[in-house]
Amino acid sequence: MVGGGKARRLPRVVRERQMLDAAVRSFARHGYQAASMDEIAELAGVSKPLVYLYLNSKEELFTAVIRREAQALLGVVAEAVVGRGGPPDERLWAGLLAFFSYAAEHPDAWTVLSVRARTQGEPFAGEAARMRDEITAFVAGLIGEAAR
């Protein structure tokens, strides 16, 4: 609290981002089953009931994490390729570099996407498979362009 007044309320989008960031850390460290909503709430600096109010259940929270992190990864790769002119082989290289750079710079997100989501069964494995299929199709298109 500042000046003895009430603590400032954060916009929902900011609070939700805090919760998702905390969930990424927890799911990466412990896996889906062992991650606790108590720890996620504590890491986010919110109450456990608020996590449930915003994200409904642990399953929906994990799904939201997978979707958010997959979209972030795909966005970085697309931006590296689409925002770049030049020959297709250079664009392919830029996309691959962006992919691996993102994975290296966001190890918790990468762990969630490459290990945790894939090994938890449905519906999580399906979310991970959709991301993998989208990246595969994107890269295949670049390879096809480079081959022409």
pLDDT attached to residue 62: 95
Give a yes or no: residue 137 inside a domain: yes
Question: Average pLDDT, whole number, for the chain?
Answer: 87
Structural domain that includes position 94: 12-147
Task: Return the C-alpha torsion angle 107, 139, 126, 119, nearest 10.
Answer: -40
Give a yes or no: residue 1 inside a domain: no
Give a yes or no: residue 6 inside a domain: no
Give a yes or no: residue 4 inside a domain: no
Give a yes or no: residue 71 inside a domain: yes
| Total number of domains in the chain | 1
Give a yes or no: residue 2 inside a domain: no
Distance CA 46, CA 10 (A): 11
CATH number, position 19: 1.10.357.10
pLDDT attached to residue 3: 47
The first and second tokens of residue 46, run together, are 């919110």
Binned average pLDDT, 10 residues per bin, the chain of 148 residues: 54 92 97 95 94 94 94 92 80 90 96 87 84 84 77
Q: What is the pLDDT of residues 68-111, one digit of tens each?
A: 999 999 999 989 888 677 888 888 889 889 999 999 999 999 99
